[in-house]
Amino acid sequence: MATMLEKVARAIAEELQVDNWQDFIPAARAAVHAMREPSDEMLEAALPGLPDYGDLPDEWLAMISHVLNE
């Protein structure tokens, strides 16, 4: 089973039409790192209309941190 970083690296390589996806692990890590904090729009999409997002931002950060540590 591919890690999330591998999936992102493969997607970048495919978009650029390059065979060696391993070369894109650093770019994948940078892309995932850029998503560490969810935007207000992302939180609203997950929990529409709620005045408080509860623990969702912390849960998101935990998931992204997991990917970065794979």
| Predicted local confidence at residue 52, as pLDDT | 86
Nearest to 54 by CA among 67, 39, 43: 43
pTM of the model: 0.84
The tens digit of pLDDT for each residue in 17-64 reads 999 999 999 999 999 999 999 998 999 999 898 888 889 999 999 999
CA distances from 29 to 18, 22, 25, 35, 50 (A): 18, 12, 6, 10, 31
Task: Inform me whether the pLDDT recorded for 9 exceeds 90.
Answer: yes
Contact call for residues 12 and 24 (beta carbons, < 8 A): yes
